[in-house]
Every structure is written in structure tokens, then in C-alpha cells.
Chains A and B, each alone.
Chain A
Amino acid sequence: MIDVVAAVLLVTGSLMSLTAAIGLVRFPDVLTRMHAATKPQTVGLLLILAGIAAHFHTLPVIAMVSLVAVFQLVTAPVAAHMVARNAYRAGMHDSRQLTVDELADG
């Protein structure tokens, strides 16, 4: 039973990577590509880590996997923030597609 849960989690996590790859190729600019690219970075990796924890279910593995999850959740927004800000400053976006543009008067 626990193996079925682990298998489902692992396959779902891998499918997140596939959606991100499709988005990376199909979307038109940096900001939309970032929207697609963050799926395996957070949800996909968390699903895979949950699958690992479900497969081994021992305390050391669960501790290490939680550590990875925390690091990933802390660092991914930092990188995304810096990339998105620089993409905006460099004008790599279509301002007609923005509903709110809070950086415009800053």
C-alpha cells in the first residue's frame, strides 16, 4: 500500500517536470516562462521528496528530506524575485498584458 502511494507521488512529481518543460518552450517571454518553470522547483520536488519519505519511512531519511524541502522553499522565491525584477527592468515583458503594474511609478 505504502509503495503505491510512493509510486503515485513519484510519477506525479515527474509529470510536473514535464509540464514545466512544455511551458519553458511554448511560453513567449521570461515572466510567463517563470510561471511554468516554478512547478518542478516547488510542487514537483516536494511530491518527489514525499515519495522518498513514503518509500523509506525511517527517521533519518525523513529528517533529511524535510531539510531539502525547507531549503527549496526558502531559496526558490529569492531566485525568482531577482530574475523577475531584472526581467522587468530590462523591459522583457508585454506591459499590455499586466493588470497591475506596481513597479511603474517606483
Chain B
Amino acid sequence: MTTVAVVCTAILGLSALVAVVRIVRGPSMLDRAVATDTFIAMMAAAIGIEAVANDRTVTLPILVALALIGFLGSVAVARFAVRPEEEA
């Protein structure tokens, strides 16, 4: 299981780095919101892999919290940060 954890961590780390590149480069706020959503999903995946690798379940409630509030960021950006004169 350790090998699997190392492989998954490498893949997820690379993916998160690339997502951060998109967050930095933009070009619009919505691109950043989409990339941040993806980044949060990768973080949740990494927490899950940590739980399996160390054989403990204490970190799993963090997954519940992330799943509950992870989408608030992009909803807030989409609702309030983009062209306020056109909001519906």
C-alpha cells in the first residue's frame, strides 16, 4: 500500500501544481474559480489517500467538511465577482 500511496501522491502533486499554474495565469476570475474547485477535489483525494496510507480514519471528517463547503468558493466568485451589473 506504501507504493500505491507514493504513486498517487506523485500524480496528485503534479496535478495540483498544474492547477495552481491555471489559478495564477487566469485569465478571468471564472477560470480561477474552476481551477480552485479542481484543486479542492485534488486536496480531498490526497486526504483520502493519506487515510489509506497511514491506516487511520481520523482525517476522514475533513473530507465531509470539504465536500460540504468546497463549492462555496466558486459559487461566491460566480455570483458576486463577475460583472455585477449583469447579475440576475
Residues of A bordering B, CB below 8 Å: 3, 6-7, 10-11, 13-15, 17-18, 20-22, 24-25, 30, 33-34, 37, 40-41, 44-45, 48-49, 51-52, 55-56, 60-61, 64-65, 67-68, 71-72, 75-76, 78-79, 82-83, 85-87, 89-90, 92
Q: How far is the CB of B72 from chain A (nearest CB, A)?
A: 8
Given A13-B45, A20-B15, 20 additional A-B pairs, CB 8 A: A7-B4, A17-B11, A18-B15, A21-B19, A24-B22, A30-B34, A40-B42, A44-B41, A48-B48, A48-B49, A55-B52, A56-B52, A68-B64, A75-B71, A83-B74, A85-B78, A86-B78, A89-B83, A89-B88, A90-B83
Q: Is the CB of A78 within 8 A of B75?
A: yes
Q: Is the CB of B74 within 8 A of A82?
A: yes
Instruction: Report chain B residues within 8 Å CB of A76.
Output: 37, 71
Contact A65-B60, Cβ < 8 Å, known A10-B49, A72-B67:
yes
Contact A18 B34 (CB under 8 A): no
In the complex, which of the residues A3, A10, A85 contacts B8, with contact meaning CB atoms closer than 8 Å?
A10
Is A75 a contact of B30 with CB atoms below 8 Å? Answer: no
Q: What class of interface size applies to chain B in its complex with A?
A: 35 or more
| B12 CB → nearest A CB, Å | 5
B30 to chain A, nearest CB (A): 5
Number of A-B residue pairs at CB separation under 8 A? 161
Q: Are B18 and A14 in contact (CB under 8 A)?
A: no
Find out whether the CB atom of A83 lies under 8 angstroms from the CB atom of B78.
yes
Q: What is the CB-to-nearest-CB distance from A22 to chain B, in angstroms, rounded to a whole number? A: 7
Chain A residues within an 8 Å CB radius of B37? 37, 41, 76, 79
Known interface pairs A61-B60, A68-B64. Does A18 touch B79 (Cβ–Cβ under 8 Å)? no
